[in-house]
Structure 1
Amino acid sequence: MRLLRSTDLALRVLMRLAVAGDSTPTTRQVAEDMDVPYTHAAKVVAELQHLGLVDARRGRGGGLALSEKGRTASVGAVVRAFEGEGDVVECEGSTPCPLISACRLRGALRRAQEAFYATLDPVTVADMVADPTGPLLLSISGRPPS
């Protein structure tokens, strides 16, 4: 299983904001810190804001901040929100699989996907920035450790 680039970026943005402290970096600053195109970061930040995980303020003195919901968010829930709830394989697409009526693979893949999410569900964004990750994130953001 491979995560979408937007899912990976969403998790990294949440982690970056989790160590921001009182500072409120802009989307552009976060994109630079994560070495990703601004347009990708802006789309991900918009979705994170829609999910209530990030607070974004525009204009002078604006920036991004992790909401309390974002700090305690389950990594599994974030991944589900960005990946969608669909199956790992598409069995009923424009060219349906000829094995669909008797396939055992689909069920096995669905169980594996749920096991993947079940492993991520108890992990929070705050857990993801515990040492040694938090100090490393601070060092790449150019913000001195507090």
Structure 2
Amino acid sequence: MHLTRFTDYSLRVLMYLAEPSNERTTIAEIATRFSVSRNHLMKVVQELSHLGYITTIRGKNGGLSLKMAPDTIHIGQLVQATEHSFALTECDGDDDACYIASVCRFKHIANEGVTAFIAVLDRYTLQDLLVPECRSRLRELKLIDSVESCL
């Protein structure tokens, strides 16, 4: 399974905004820090705002800020909200696509694995991704290299 770039950027934006020194920032600043497309980031920010994770304020003194406390943002819920599909097989949802679908159990086993994956992610919050050791590293680098480096 591979998470989309959209989910990756969603995590990055939330982690960046959760950093205490980043009370309010702009899409342009985040795009520059992560060297990512401003247009793609605009779509991510729009979705995160729609989902209630962040607040966006337009205008000269506007910007982005975290709307929820980091310890209330569950990673599994975020991943489910930003991923469009968790289908691991082509036949998922379409038994007519395969002539052995009636006797094949792989689709069900794969779905069980995805459910377990989400359950594990849901045990962690955004706060868990920002352990104290990572806060100093984030300040030092002025960006987040990867989620794995903070676990």
Provide the C-alpha distance between the structure 2 equivalents of 1:23 and 1:69, rounded to a whole number of angstroms: 12
Q: 1:53·1:70 contact (CA, 8 Å) conserved in 2?
A: no
C-alpha spacing 1:20/1:90, structure 2 compared with 1 (3 Å): farther
The letter of the residue matching 2:15 is M
Q: Which residue of 1 aligns with 2:68?
A: 68
Q: Which residue of 1 aligns with 2:102?
A: 101
**Residue 127 of structure 1: CA displacement?**
1.3
- Find the residue that maps to 2:97 and give its secondary structure: coil
Q: 1:53·1:69 contact (CA, 8 Å) conserved in 2?
A: no
The letter of the residue matching 1:59 is G
Runs of 4+ in 1 over 3 A off after TM superposition: 20-23
Q: Which residue of 1 aligns with 2:125?
A: 124
Flag structure 2 segments of 5+ consecutive residues without an equivalent.
144-151
C-alpha spacing 1:35/1:62, structure 2 compared with 1 (3 Å): same
Provide the C-alpha distance between the structure 2 equivalents of 1:34 and 1:22, rounded to a whole number of angstroms: 15
Give the TM-score of the pair, scaled to structure 1.
Answer: 0.87
Flag structure 1 segments of 5+ consecutive residues without an equivalent.
none
Q: 2:53·2:67 contact (CA, 8 Å) conserved in 1?
A: yes
**Residue 97 of structure 1: CA displacement?**
1.9
1:1-146 correspondence runs (5 A): 1-21=1-21, 23-68=23-68, 72-84=72-84, 86-91=86-91, 92=93, 96-141=97-142
What's the CA shift string for 1:43-89, capped at 9, x where partnerless?
A: 10100000000101111111110112565210000000011364322
C-alpha spacing 1:49/1:18, structure 2 compared with 1 (3 Å): same
- Find the residue that maps to 1:17 and give its secondary structure: helix
Give the TM-score of the pair, scaled to structure 2.
Answer: 0.84
Aligned residue pairs total 142
- Find the residue that maps to 1:68 and give its secondary structure: coil
Q: 1:18·1:71 contact (CA, 8 Å) conserved in 2?
A: no
The letter of the residue matching 1:52 is G
- Find the residue that maps to 1:90 and give its secondary structure: coil
